[in-house]
Structure 1
Amino acid sequence: MEYNVESPFSFEEVERILRGPIHSSPFLVSEQIAGPGLPPKYRVCRNLSKADPVSGMPAINSFIDKDDFPTSFDMALKVAAAVAEAPPGTQGIAFDIKTFHRTCPVLPDHKPYLVASFQGKFYIDHVHPFGARPASSNAGQIGNAAVDIWQAESRSENRLFKYEDDIQNFRYPNQLGRFSDGVFTYFHNRETSLALIDILHIPWHPEKSGICFAFTTTFIGFQWDLTLHRVSLPEKKRMNLSNSILDTLYWWQKRLEDRTAFRQLRPIGPVHHYKVFVDASTSWGIGIIIGPLWHSFRLAPGWKRPGRDICWLETLAIELAILFLKQLNFYGQRVEVFSDNSGAIGAHSKNRSPNITINLSVRRSYSVLAECLIVPDFIYIESASNPADPISRGDLAPPSLRFLTQSFDMPRELADIFLHEGVHLATSPSTQTASPPPTSPHASPPPSDIILSPSSHSALDLFCPIQPSPDISENLHVIRSLATRSLPPCSPRKPRPADAWRPSPLRPIVPADRRVLLWTTPHSEQAQQSLDSTISPRLQRKIFENLLLATSDSTRQSYGAGLLHFTQFCDREEISENLRMPASTILLSAFIADAIGTCTGNCIRNWLNGLRLWHLYNLADWHGRDRWVSSLQKAADIQGVPFKRPPRGPITKDHLRHLHSNLNFATPAHAAIWAAALAAFWGCRRLGELLLRSRSSFSPTRNVT
């Protein structure tokens, strides 16, 4: 361990020193090729991008937005321009800052997140480790400041460039200079140039820093010739690249010389007519249909660049459809894929294209096909006959199709192509259900040896029709409706378009504070049967009346909003009624993940509290404390920070004096305002706890009189 890492401690000691819990990230060993005939170099780093799959703790780097830590580098193009314009006699010298990232101290409050663990002992790190997301910026801004100071002190006689820990110093000839090299004279040599910034105490690397100014210099991996105005690869790097190519050829030679090498062949079977249709349009995006399921991807502004044309988009459509086939657990099957672009079909069929971006897409597709043993049969179809064509242009999907939720990760190369990972076009509610895959003499179910995820449904399960919602029993409806009469009277309002949900007898239009009791599921019927077999309807009503009185009207109304959002999510994702209660860990996790980034973490937590109360009223198991759910709530807190309202300023006595001077106490309303203000101020209460939403909501047991 380096000198800037404090001696090892026990777990109890390190928590006492750092005053709380700690986070220890795993180590990572990276191998670097050193050069011809030299052994590789190994660098031990902290893997701060590794999450803990057991506890669900996110990676340290996931809490850090790199945009908050900017820095700047002098790229090769800038250096090339300076070399091309360099006057005769220009020389350069390279400097390297030793342990560049390890020179920036860590804020004391951040040290618990950077603890290192080795052989049961814990080490406190006092400087930023390599691999931390803000490391380049924190050390880079210090380095940039040093270069700016150096440039200012050197004036126009020298020019500085910087990239990470590498600094290049050009000196220009001047007739008044006192240091000579041949026919040229200069203001500075190495020693006087460094003396300009000695006060900064920069730790220079003794081996990687230059000895003297020269007409050729190495910087950011290139050798720059300041006399001939040209750039080339240094000999060491050139040999490294050659060895890399030779190593690849030797690898293939060994594989080809192996006479025992083979690949197991398996029967794929007949083509399954799942009707996979893809299409793309430059005006909107990509549409995909797989049986009765559909999905769309909308293009982001600025997506079109060299090499990205309509043929490339059509190739992406096929790639994304293949990723959906993997998501749906297709394995060991031949599948028909219909496209109206012969170029995309040809690229996938031949596994090559003159377009490099298309080749990259085909390569990614092939890796998925090989993994899942899927053999696609690409078939050309006219655009007018392609059902995915209108979806790719932003039109509504037919009501007979169900939306297919995307759960796979988008390839990194496509991160900036679409507005977001999937666009769910709003479709009008329909009573129609999707049809299963068409049957024909050539269509057969998947082979019995298809390997599926144990926690997933098979591909064909997803093609089954949605079961209609069951009718709510009369006894269940009557008892719960009678129980709500104990609440202050309130008339339901017609939902706004944003608050609408799919009509169902399980979810009548009722005031928001009554949804937790009057909105039901098939599980509610089971709970009702259990109640009917145990106690009388009179006792059932009393139970529900007192359960309602255990929470305030405002709390139930807030919880009703959470239940509305959950219902809209389930409707949108076509979650069957039987799966909505009890909500599984997976469903709750999906609900949270879908909401992350749209509101605060407290808002999502309040929605979950409403779902928990809803489950409580219906005697359903609650999985809201499982690890996935807890970890996602932490992520919601992090992603929800931008949605938090800034804290309001405190109410002071000056506010009360100003209010008092503007009231007429001969008016009962003004007297009531003053009384409420005093009760809120001296009672440390929110106005919402004292004031009424309406005349009918008054309760002498809760409201101030």
Structure 2
Amino acid sequence: MNIPRWKEALEQSNLLPEFEDVLIGFEKGFDQGIPQHTIDGYKDYYTPPNHSSALQARLKIEASMKKDVEEGQMYGPYTQDQVNRQFPFFQTSPLGAVINGNGSLRPINDLSFPHGQDIIPSVNSFVDSDEFQTMWDDFNVVAKFIKGIKEPILLAIFDWEKAYRQIPTRPDQWRYLTVQDFEGGIMLDTRIAFGGVAGCGSFGRPADAWKRIMMAEFDVLTIFRWVDNNLFVKQAGSGLRMTDVVKRSNELGVKKNKEKYKPFAKEQKFVGFVWNGTGKTVRLPEEKLAKLIAQVLVFLEKDAEFWYNKV
């Protein structure tokens, strides 16, 4: 992040000292709520093996690690002895993969492992989620706004690229955010991990600050945020272009997701629904409708039988 530009933008938008903690976070790393600790029975380190699901996403994980190393967001691989020279004790969490709603695999750092154990505490077990709360704009919030506005509006999407990876963490907590690569090397991660209790709230602060800067600097009616996805709303006659928003974000150091970025138009998909700013309507995406219809069609087959638990 370009900290001087952030400070300048926050000052000009009268957002200081409200977001002073964001500037401190960019400079010194954002707190992940992890206290200094060791694990009984493990003098120097605790390094459980990666989950088998990580193998399914190995190529994606290795490519992501390579990019993170190149961009200075991750360091390694190191041997256990090399890490111990810096940290008397460190703890890795298993890599794994979960399936997204679109069927793709998302790599995760399982900071909740081991699950349900008191003898060996997970990294997440130390974190109080109440200290990392954040607010998102859901369906009801967007629907209420669109229903209440009479004039035609245009909608656009700005999605942060690998949002969590743009946010640094505190160096004194890195020892608990390490992972193992597929050859047993230790990787030191310096960015918010997907899988941490503090992740959403920790990212939410700079995301909220960015949103408020955009609202102060540009001719928008409002901006709705769902994690890293932002729906820009402007009057139909406004001359604002999303290219201007992208340019300004680049100056701050905020990168956009090129695949999800959408310029102003009558319709945009947000929080799983397609919103129409001129007709003031909302609907499910066509692919979602087709999937739901397909689920119902099987029950319309004559003489078809189904197990109750399958239904």
Aligned to 2:280: 229
TM-aligned CA deviation for residue 28 of structure 1? 2.3
- Cα 1:79–1:106 shift into 2, 3 Å: same
Quick check: 1:92 aligned with 2:143?
no
Q: Secondary structure at the match of 1:199?
A: helix
1:23 aligns with 2:87: no
Contact 1:116–1:125 (Cα < 8 Å) also in 2: yes
CA displacement 1:368-420 (0-9 Å, x = unmatched): xxxxxxxxxxxxxxxxxxxxxxxxxxxxxxxxxxxxxxxxxxxxxxxxxxxxx
Match of 2:259 in 1: 207
* 3-state SS in 1 of match to 2:97: strand
- Aligned partner of 1:8 in structure 2 is 77
Q: Secondary structure in 2 aligned to 1:127?
A: coil
How far did residue 162 of structure 1 move?
A: 0.7
Q: By percentage of residues, which structure has more strand?
A: 2
CA offset at residue 224 of structure 1?
0.7
Q: 1:197 to 1:28 in 2, by over 3 A?
A: closer
Q: How does 1:17-56 map to 2 (within 5 A)?
A: 17=86, 19-34=87-102, 40-51=103-114, 56=119
* Match in the other structure for 1:135: 199
* Residue identity in the other structure for 2:184: G
* Partner residue, 2:168: 105
Q: Alpha-carbon deviations, 1:25-82, whole Å to 9, x = none?
A: 1222212353xxxxx3112211111227899211111100011112111122111112
* AA of the residue aligned to 1:5: M
Paired with 1:55 and 1:88, the residues of 2 have a C-alpha distance of 57
Decide whether the 8 Å contact of 1:154 with 1:196 is kept in 2. no
Contact in 1 for aligned 2:166/2:254 (Cα 8 Å): no
Instruction: Report the CA distance between 1:246 and its aligned residue.
Output: 6.8
| Per-residue deviation, 1:245 | 6.0
Deviation, 1:100, is 1.1
| Within-5 A mapping of 1:225-624 | 225-242=276-293
1:33–1:240 contact (8 Å) kept in structure 2: no
Give 2:224's match in structure 1, choosing from 139, 142, 161.
161
Q: Distance in 2 between matches of 1:192 and 1:53?
A: 49
Computed over aligned residues only, the root mean square deviation of the Cα atoms, in angstroms, reads 2.8
Distance 2:285 2:117 in 1: 47
**Structure 1 residues 255 and 222, CA, compared in 2 at 3 Å: closer, same or farther?**
closer
User: Which residue identity lines up with residue 136 of structure 1 in the other structure?
Assistant: C
Question: Structure 1 pair 56/223, CA: closer, same or farther in 2 (3 Å)?
Answer: same
Matched residue of 1:6: which SS? strand
**Structure of higher RCO (CA pairs closer than 8 Å, 6+ residues apart):** 2
**Aligned-pair CA distance for 1:114:** 0.8
Report the structure number with the largest CA radius of gyration: 1
CA distance in 2, matches of 1:245, 1:16: 60
2:185 to 99, 113, 121: 121
- Residues 236-263 of structure 1 show CA distances to partners (whole Å, capped at 9, x for unaligned) of 333344456679999xx7977xxxxxxx
**Identity of aligned pairs, percent?**
24
Query: In structure 1, how many angstroms separate the alpha carbons of the residues matched to 2:245 and 2:187?
Result: 39
Question: Does 2:239 match 1:187?
Answer: yes
Q: Which residue of 2 aligns with 1:218?
A: 269
> Within 1, Cα distance between the matches of 2:96 and 2:164?
16
Compared with structure 1, are the counterparts of its residues 227 and 50 closer, same or farther at alpha carbon in structure 2 (3 Å cutoff)? same
Residue identity in the other structure for 1:145: A
- Give the count of matched residue pairs: 237
* Contact kept in structure 1, 2:159 and 2:257, CA below 8 Å: yes
Is contact 1:111-1:124 (8 Å) kept?
Answer: yes
TM-score after normalising by structure 2: 0.69
The residue type equivalent to 1:217 in the other structure is Q
User: What TM-score results when the alignment is normalised by the length of structure 1?
Assistant: 0.32
The 3 A distance-change label for structure 1 pair 133 and 51 is same
